[in-house]
Amino acid sequence: MNQEYFDKVTELEKMNASDQYILGWQEGYQDAPEVEEQRVTDAYQAGYEDGKNNNFDNVEKFKD
């Protein structure tokens, strides 16, 4: 992965984003397939969409 990816994941961790949001963000950023339907949470879905768009628009809603 590139440095931007690691910097953004570190930033999410410092923001206390939920683990599900971070996991979704990582997979969306990498354009990986989503997890199985029964494992998708609201936090994961929001993170996935934000990762695909390379932003943190929904992180405030999903903090630990």
Q: 2-53: per-residue pLDDT in tens? A: 999 999 999 999 999 999 999 999 999 999 999 999 999 999 999 999 999 9
Count of other CB atoms within 10 angstroms of residue 41: 15
Nearest to 60 by CA among 49, 39, 46: 46
pLDDT band for 64, please (50, 70, 90 cuts).
confident
The reported pLDDT for the residue numbered 15 is 97
> Is 46 in a helix, a strand, or coil?
helix
The reported pLDDT for the residue numbered 20 is 97
